[in-house]
Chain A
Amino acid sequence: MSIFGFRISPSSAMNLDTIDRSRFEELCRIEPDAARCMSCGACSATCPASEFSGMSVRKVLLCLQRGKEEEAFRMMNNCMLCGKCTMVCPRGINTRHLILSICRIYDKEDKR
C-alpha cells in the first residue's frame, strides 16, 4: 500500500530482548562447538554453494543466534553436505555435522 507515493519499509533492527534463543541453546547442548565460531569466514569462502546461493555456515550460525531462523534455513537448503567447510574451519568445528544437527533440532521443533 503506498497512498503517499512511498512505503515505510519494516525496521531491520534486531531487538535482542525479544529473541527466543531456546533452540540455539538446545543446539549448543548437543553441539557445544556451535558457540565457538569466531566469524572468520573461511567456511563461506571455500563453500562451493556459496557463490550461487549465499550459503555460509558463518551466517547461518549468526542468524540462529539473532533469531533469524528463516534466513538460516533458506541458506541451508543449498548446502550439498560436501564437508569442505569442515576442512578449513580453524576452530576445528565439525561444521558438516553441525549442519545436520541444526536440521534435526529445528525440524523436530517445527513438527511439534
Chain B
Amino acid sequence: MKEIVVIIGGGIAGLEAATQLLKLGYSPIIIEKNDRLGGHVARWNRLFPDMTPAKDIVDDLIASSKDANIFLNTEISFVNRLKDSYNVMLSNGISINSRFILYTTGFRLFEAQKKEEYGYGVYNQVLTNADLENWFNTDKDKRISGKDIRKIGFVHCVGSRDEKARNSQCSKVCCITAIKQAIEMKEKFPESEVFCFYMDLRLFGKKFEDFYTKAQRDHGIHFIRGRVSEVSENINGQVIVKAEDTLAGKPLKVTLDLLVLMSGMVCNPDSTKAASMLHLPIDSDGFLQSSDNVFHITSSPRKGIYYAGACTGPKTVPETLAEARSAVLDIHSEITAGKK
C-alpha cells in the first residue's frame, strides 16, 4: 500500500508538498480548514519580485496536486500517538492512520484594528495591505474605486517589531510588499504622491533593493524614516498622519487620501492549536519551533512530524516552496531508510 502523509493546511506549502509526494508515489491527504485552497497567496494579486500573477502560481499548484485526497472545510479534532504512527481524527468523522504528519498551517495577518492609533476600522480611508491586494484583484473598494486619490501613505511595521502588540519579530515581507504596492498605486494614480513611513528598510531578497531604487528614481516615492505616531481624520474624510522625520530630526505631518497599513505576519492560532494536540513546542515568537533553525528548519523534535512554510515564521513564496520540497525529501528519506 502507498505510504500516507497527512498535510495540515492547503496553502502553497501544503499544495507543493502534495505535488512532490505524488511524484514520489506516495499518497498525500490535505486537510484544509477553509472552503478553498491556496491560503494567503490566493488572496494576493501580483507577487514580488517578478510581479508574477499569484493566481497562476495557485492554479498551477492546485492542478499539480489534484490527485491528492483533499478535505476542505475540515479541521483536526484530535491526534493520538500510536506505537510508531499517528491516528488523526478529522472534524468530518474520518479517521486516518499515518506515520507522517506535515504541518503547513501558515501564518495569520496581524489584526490592524489592534493598533488603535492608526485608525483601521475607525477612519474610512485607512486600509491594510491585504485590502489593497483585494482591490487589485476585484477593483471593488468604495474607498479607492472612482475616487480622486492624490496622496497615499504606507505605514511599515504594523503589528511587527512591536512588543506592545506582542510581536517583536520582523515580518520580513512587508517592506518589499509596501514598495511593490507603492509602485502599483503610483502606476494606477500617476499624479499622486506616495509616502512610505519606515523604521528600517529591510530588503533582504533577490532584486528587492532594485525595487527600492526603482521606487525612488522612476516613481518619485518619498521614503520617510520615522514611525507613524498617530492618525486622525479631517472634515473632508482625509487622514492626517503625524510622525517624526528622524533623518531631519523634526516632527512632520501630512494629509492623505489613503493610508495603507502593512499588517505583519504573526503566528496562526489554528497552527498552535493543531500543534498542541501533539505537545509540539512553540517558539518565543509564537510560531512552531523547528528542531533547530539552521540545519533542520523543516523538522520537529518529534519523529514523523515535519513543518514547511510560514508556520515556523515569516517566509516568502519561494522560501515556502523550497521548504515544502525539502520536507518531502526528509519524509522520503525516512521512508526509504526504513525499507532497507
Q: Which single residue of chain B is at the shortest CB-CB distance from A28? A: B220
CB of A36 closer than 8 Å to a CB of B = yes
CB distance from A111 to the nearest CB of B (A): 26
On whether the beta carbons of A13 and B217 are closer than 8 Å, the reply is no
Q: Does A62 contact B (CB under 8 A)?
A: yes
Q: State how many angstroms separate the Cβ of B56 from the closest Cβ of chain A.
A: 32
Judge whether A13 and B254 touch: CB under 8 Å: no
Cα(A26)–Cα(B213), bound, Å: 19
Residue A16 at the B interface, CB < 8 A? Answer: yes
Chain B's nearest CB lies how many Å from the CB of A8? Answer: 16
Fill in one digit per residue for A31-66: 1 if any B CB lies within 8 Å of its CB, else 0: 011011011000000000000000000100011011
B251 adjacent to A66 (CB under 8 Å): no
Could you tell me if B252 and A36 are in contact, using CB atoms closer than 8 angstroms?
no
Q: What CA separation (Å) do A66 and B244 show in the bound complex?
A: 13
Most buried by A among B218, B245, B248, B255: B248
Contact of B254 among A15, A33, A63 (CB under 8 A): A15
* B137 close to A (CB within 8 Å): no
Which residues B181-238 have CB closer than 8 A to chain A? 195, 212-213, 216-218, 220, 222, 225
Question: Which residue of chain A has the shortest Cβ distance to B220 in the bound complex?
Answer: A35
* Interface: A12 (CB within 8 A): yes
Does B247 count as interface, using CB distance less than 8 angstroms?
yes
Is A17 positioned at the interface, with any CB of B under 8 Å from its CB? yes
Complex Cα spacing A104 to B164, Å: 49
The answer on a CB contact under 8 Å between B217 and A16 is: no
B residues contacting the other copy or chain, number (CB 8 A): 18
Whether A13 lies near B250 (C-beta < 8 A) is yes
A25 touches B248 (CB 8 A): no
Q: How far is the CA of A68 from the CA of B245 in the complex (A)?
A: 13
Say yes or no: A35-B216 contact (C-beta < 8 A), given A14-B251, A15-B253, A17-B255: yes
Which B residues are CB-close (under 8 A) to A58?
A: 247
Considering only CB atoms and an 8 Å cut-off, how many residues of chain A contact the other chain?
21
Q: Is the CB of A14 within 8 A of B250?
A: yes
Interface membership of A91, Cβ < 8 A: yes
Alpha-carbon separation in the docked complex, A15 to B212 (Å): 25
Please encode chain A, from 55 to 84, with 1 for each CB lying within 8 Å of some chain B CB and 0 for all others.
Answer: 000100011011010000000000000000
Q: What residues of chain A lie closer than 8 Å to B245, measured between beta carbons?
A: 14, 66
B254 engages A91 (CB within 8 Å): no
Which residues 238-273 of B have a CB within 8 angstroms of A? 245, 247-248, 250-255
Residue of B nearest to A33 (CB): B217
Cβ B247 vs Cβ A16 within 8 A: no
Of A33, A63, A65, the residue contacting B222 (CB under 8 A) is A65
* Choice from B212, B220, B225, B253 contacting A16 with Cβ under 8 Å: B253
Q: How far is the CB of A77 from chain B (nearest CB, A)?
A: 20
Complex alpha-carbon distance, A14 and B212, angstroms: 24
* Smallest CB separation, A28 vs chain B (Å): 7
Within 8 A of B (CB), among A1-25: 12-17, 25
Chain B residue with the shortest CB-CB distance to A63: B248
Interface pairs (11), CB distance under 8 Å: A13-B251, A13-B252, A14-B251, A14-B252, A16-B252, A28-B220, A36-B217, A39-B247, A66-B250, A66-B252, A68-B248
Binding site for B on A (CB under 8 A): 12-17, 25, 28, 32-33, 35-36, 38-39, 58, 62-63, 65-66, 68, 91
A-B contacts besides A13-B253, A62-B248, A65-B222, 19 pairs, CB < 8 Å: A12-B251, A13-B250, A14-B251, A15-B252, A15-B253, A16-B195, A16-B254, A17-B254, A17-B255, A28-B220, A32-B217, A32-B218, A36-B216, A38-B212, A39-B225, A39-B247, A63-B248, A66-B245, A68-B248
